[in-house]
Structure formats: structure tokens, C-alpha cells
């Protein structure tokens, strides 16, 4: 039963990460993968630790799925006026 539960949680975690990659949410997917590895390394050595780490990572993945990270916003494709002025002062662009 325990192994089945851990398998389901791990599958769910990877399914969420794959869904994020398909939606080009690379920052979220990267944080999910890093948290999974970090938590599993931190709780290494016991089955209970692996369960806690995998469940915590899955909950984190689910949370980030509904509230995406905003510190890496690559959707901005053009410079605003202030940025263009600064670049033109230095002869760039």
C-alpha cells in the first residue's frame, strides 16, 4: 500500500511538471524538479523521508501550477520609453 501511494504521488508530481513544460512554464518546472531533488536528498535514508519529500514536492507543484512564478517573466518583448532613453544615452541600439 505504501509503495503504491508513493508511486501515485510521484506520477502526479511528474505529470504536473510535464504539463508545465508543455505550457512553456520552464521556471515553474525547474523549481519543481529542483525541489523534488532537494527534498529527497534532505530526507534520504528512510522510506518515510522519501514519502514526505515526494508528497511535499507534489503539493508544491500543484500550488505553483495554479499560481505561476512571476520573478522570471520572459513575455516582455519590447523596451519601454525609459529603457530606450537609457540605452540611447550610451549609444546602444
Judge whether 16 and 61 are in contact, CB under 8 Å: yes
Look at residue 72 in the predicted model and tell me its pLDDT: 55
- C-alpha span between 6 and 3 (Å, rounded): 5
Look at residue 71 in the predicted model and tell me its pLDDT: 63
Helix (H) or strand (E) holding 75, with range, is: none
Look at residue 76 in the predicted model and tell me its pLDDT: 55
Look at residue 58 in the predicted model and tell me its pLDDT: 84
Judge whether 9 and 47 are in contact, CB under 8 Å: no
- C-alpha span between 40 and 66 (Å, rounded): 23
pTM of the model: 0.63
Alpha helices (runs of H) in 1-93, residue ranges in sequence order:
2-22, 26-42, 47-66, 81-89
Look at residue 74 in the predicted model and tell me its pLDDT: 54
Domain ranges of the chain: 2-89
Could you tell me the mean pLDDT of each successive run of 10 residues in the chain, 93 residues long?
79 87 85 84 80 83 79 58 74 68
Amino acid at each position: 500500500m505504501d509503495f503504491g501511494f508513493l508511486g501515485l504521488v510521484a506520477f502526479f508530481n511528474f505529470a504536473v511538471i510535464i504539463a508545465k513544460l508543455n505550457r512553456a512554464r520552464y521556471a515553474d518546472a525547474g523549481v519543481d524538479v529542483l525541489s523534488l531533488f532537494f527534498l529527497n536528498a534532505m530526507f534520504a535514508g528512510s522510506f518515510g523521508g522519501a514519502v514526505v519529500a515526494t508528497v511535499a514536492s507534489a503539493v508544491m507543484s500543484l500550488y505553483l501550477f495554479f499560481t505561476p512564478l512571476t520573478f522570471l517573466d520572459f513575455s516582455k518583448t519590447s523596451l519601454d520609453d525609459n529603457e530606450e532613453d537609457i540605452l540611447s544615452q550610451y549609444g546602444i541600439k
